[in-house]
Structure 1
Amino acid sequence: LMDAGVPTKSSVSGVAIGLMSKQDKNGNISDYRLLTDIAGIEDFFGDMDFKIAFTSNSEVTAIQLDTKLLGGIDQRIFRQACERGLQANLKVQRKMDACLQKPRATIKPNGPVEEQLVVGASKRSRLLGAGGLNLKRIEARTGVQISQLDE
C-alpha cells in the first residue's frame, strides 16, 4: 500500500502459518509442527491455514483461521501460531522499512485513477450510442472502465 502511494499510518505485513499434525486414535494431536508462510501445497495437505497481518506497531489488522481438524486446535497451538505470526511479521516489517519508511507522496503512474465527468442529459444518448455501442468502444480502445450513475 505504501509503495503504491496509499496514505497509511504505518506499514502492514501479513503471513500465513500452517499446521502439520499427527493425531492419536482418539483424534487428539500427539505431535505437530508449525510452518511459517505456507504455500498452496502445505495449505492443501496441512491441518490449518492461519493468516495474520500486523502494523509496524504490532497491532493486529486482520486474522483468519481455517482448520481441517474436527475438534479444532487447542489454545496452546493457537498462542504459538500467533507468536510465530508476530515474529515473522516483524521480520517482514524490518525488510519493508529498510526500503520504504512512509507512503509515497504521489500515487504511481500505473496506480488506479478515478475521475468523474458529468455529461448533460441532452448529450448522454450521443455518448452512449445505440445499445451502449459507443461506451463499449471507448472502454475497449482505452482500457478505461465507465460507470453510469443515474440521478
Structure 2
Amino acid sequence: MEAIQLRIKEQYSNLEYLNSFGAIFNNEIILHKYRNSNPIPLDSVLKIKFLKKRKLVVNYVFLFFAVAGAISLYKLQYPELITNVIGCASVFLLFLLSFFLKNHEYKVLLVTNNYQVNYIVVEKYLKEDAKIIFQKIQKKINKQKKQI
C-alpha cells in the first residue's frame, strides 16, 4: 500500500493525503466510494461530518422473542423443572442480547455551497480511514473559511 501511495504522490505533486477511502489535493478531494470517484472542489463543500448511527432492528427482534418466550413460559407452565430452567435461561439470554448487542451504521454528511445534502455510506472496514480523511478535510475547510 505504501509503494502505491508513493507512486501516486510522485505522479500528483499537489496530493496532500491519500488512504483507502479517498485522496485530498490542494483544491479538491476524491472519494473512492462516492459518484464514481469524481473530484469534488473544496470550494463547493460547506460542511462534512462523520455520523455513527445505531441500528436497532436486531435488538427489537431479540426483545420480541424474549417477550414471546416469557409469555409462553408463563401461559404453558411446564411441569418439568428442567424445561422451566432451560426456558427461563434462554429468555434471559435473549433479553440480554436485545440490550447489549450493538450494530452500527456509518455515514458521512456532505453539505455543498448550494445546500445540497449528500450522504456517503461507509463500510465498517473503512471507518477508521474515513474518520481520518474527513477530519483532514474539515480542517482544510476551516482554514479556507478563516482566510476568506
Q: Report the TM range for the smaller structure's normalisation.
A: under 0.3
When normalised by structure 2's length, the TM-score is 0.24
When normalised by structure 1's length, the TM-score is 0.24
Between structures 1 and 2, the one with greater helix share: 2
